[in-house]
């Protein structure tokens, strides 16, 4: 569900990606319909038309299948931040960056919403998702530090700003989930950053 074009890949890589996509799609449909605990790896493999052994060539567990659904989000956020105009205010650059995956979710709501709800409502999956977000924070802070010519390790600002942006992202995902898709993630993130902008743009005071 990544919004960014993929680089050219070989035929073997395309075939591998196709199998991975089929496994992911089969898992998401089953999990959304039956619930996380009710679905087995055997069912996922059978639904995708592959063996259980093939499943484990691609994923270590059914948790990994679900988390993969959102795995590209962090990369998209960082790449979008890197692409923003250098003179743009930090709040604007970060808002546009986290808007990318939210727009992708909103644009595929019929597929994305049940999976987001599954992740946020299943403790094991939520824990994995939060682990992933912790890595995103490090990556986003590094990108922000490079953008502002600041030190990502010793400077408070990059970590604080990245953390604030990702907290807004997670809060909006949760609000979208609990509203059953009734609220617009793009509008929610704009409202969130309207509150965060005054602090994010005081770069020299941190």
Overall pTM surpassing 0.75 (yes/no): yes
Q: How far apart are CA 77 and CA 82, in angstroms?
A: 9
Does domain 11-63 fall into CATH 3.40.50.720? no
* Residue 39 tokens, joined: 């679905």
Domain ranges of the chain: 11-63, 70-205
Q: Is the pLDDT of residue 110 over 90?
A: no
Does domain 70-205 fall into CATH 3.40.640.10? no
Average pLDDT over the chain reads 89
Q: Buried b / exposed e across 145-155, counting CB within 10 Å, b at 16+?
A: bebbebebeeb
Q: What pLDDT was estimated at residue 203?
A: 79
């Amino acid at each position: 569900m990544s919004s960014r074009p993929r680089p050219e890949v070989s035929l073997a890589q395309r075939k591998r990606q196709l199998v991975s996509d089929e496994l992911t799609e089969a898992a998401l449909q089953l999990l959304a319909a039956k619930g996380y605990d009710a679905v087995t790896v055997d069912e996922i493999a059978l639904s995708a038309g592959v063996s259980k052994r093939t499943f484990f060539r691609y994923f270590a567990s059914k948790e990994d299948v679900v988390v993969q659904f959102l795995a590209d989000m962090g990369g998209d956020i960082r790449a979008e931040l890197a692409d923003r105009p250098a003179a743009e205010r930090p709040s604007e650059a970060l808002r546009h960056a986290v808007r990318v995956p939210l727009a992708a979710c909103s644009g595929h709501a019929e597929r994305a919403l049940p999976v987001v709800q599954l992740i946020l409502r299943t403790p094991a999956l939520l824990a994995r998702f939060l682990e992933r977000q912790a890595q995103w924070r490090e990556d986003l802070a590094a990108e922000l530090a490079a953008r502002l010519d600041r030190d990502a390790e010793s400077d408070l600002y990059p970590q604080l700003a990245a953390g604030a942006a990702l907290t807004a992202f997670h809060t909006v995902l949760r609000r979208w989930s609990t509203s059953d898709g009734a609220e617009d993630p793009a509008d929610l993130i704009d409202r969130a950053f309207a509150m965060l902008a005054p602090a994010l743009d005081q770069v020299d005071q941190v």
